[in-house]
Amino acid sequence: MSLRAALAEGRFVVTAEIGPPRGANAEAIRRAARALRGWVDAANVTDNQGAMVRLASWAGSLITLQEGVEPVMQLVCRDRNRMALQSDLLGAAALGIPNVLLLTGDHPRFGDHPEARGVFDLDSIQLVWLARTMRDEGRLLSGLQLKPPPQWLIGAVENPFAPPARFRAERLGKKVAAGAEFVQTQFVFDVATFATWMKNVRDLGLEKRCAILAGVGPIRSVRALERMSDIPGIVIPQEVRRRLRGVPSDRFLDESIKICAEIIMEIREIPGVAGVHVMAFGLEEAVGEIVERAGLGKRPQAVAP
């Protein structure tokens, strides 16, 4: 069953993430996709994540599709002007990629090419708006007609934890107004703050117009914990740190998976949440365990392999 159909049905959905490798390596993506198959409704394929050059997200999405996992192709404004964005979106539709996730992208400063020009011709909200225009009006930004127009489910991202806290639900409102049909959030470790944001989202009635998928994920190691703490926009409360630091290093991952599953169970109780987005880079095998421990179980098969 497709992500679109699962959301329409109101089933609590699970998405995950595949980070394409640095190298001309299709096998790494196949392996990750196979580990996720059956456990997720769809898997994001990231686009030069963290401003580091990787295999293209459209190619990774195609490989993922071949492995019987429905892809969500990520596309960032950092590396393309409005022309390249539109042609990549059309290419994705022609390849049968059913979902796109449109975002601004990390600044090149933090990546492996800090000397690169960041394009930022459009911002994420304008790109969502453009995708909807291409699909629903069948037109490019130039006004020229598309025959036939593309069809994808349009996704976006939001960070409920970054200041200004009071504007974060309203910013999601802008994305919904622009055409976002689902949104995946930054990592939720602080469930209370997430619940407050969800309340603001419900007050604006946004959860009825856009499926909210809460971002979650295990932390692989002490080093990963330190690295994640340095990433702007990710908030890891003291309580989570204490629990992770309180276990011997060989049990760190296990504890982390347990915390992740607990967070999913708490999130499920919050009204208006349509699913979870499990970000487990290089830990694709763990996604099944997390889903299982959270009591969500296997998914109805999405695409025949």
Partner 1 sequence: MDGFRVKTISRSEGEPSPYGDAPRPTPPRISLRNALFLQRLLRPNRLRAAFASWLEATPVAYRLFAFVEERIKRHIFGCRMCAQCALPATAYACPESCPKELRNGPCGGVREDGGCEVYPELRCVWLIAYERAEREGRVADLRRLQRPIDQRKWGRSSWVNYWLGRDEGLWTQSDGLGTREALR
Binding residues vs partner 1 (CB under 8 A): 78, 82, 104, 106-110, 112, 114, 118, 120-126, 129-130, 132-133, 137, 139, 141, 143, 157-159, 162-164, 166-167, 170-171, 173-174, 176-178, 186, 204, 232-233, 235
Closest to partner 1 by CB, 230 vs 250, is 230
Task: Work out the burial of residue 152: count CB atoms within 10 Å of its CB; fewer than 13 is exposed, 13-18 middle, 19 or more buried.
Answer: buried
In the complex, the smallest distance separating the C-beta of residue 305 from partner 1, rounded to whole angstroms, is 34
Closest to partner 1 by CB, 167 vs 292, is 167
Using only C-alpha atoms, the chain has a radius of gyration, in whole angstroms, of: 18
Closest to partner 1 by CB, 234 vs 247, is 234
In the complex, the smallest distance separating the C-beta of residue 8 from partner 1, rounded to whole angstroms, is 21
Contacts of 226 (CB under 8 A, 6+ apart): none
The CA distance from 157 to 175, in Å, is 9
* C-alpha distances out from residue 294 to 13, 209, 262, 287, Å: 12, 26, 7, 11
List phi, psi (to 5°) of 267. -65, -35
- Which tokens hold the place of 33? 């996709």
- Which tokens hold the place of 191? 């469930």
Tell me the one-letter amino acid at 168. R
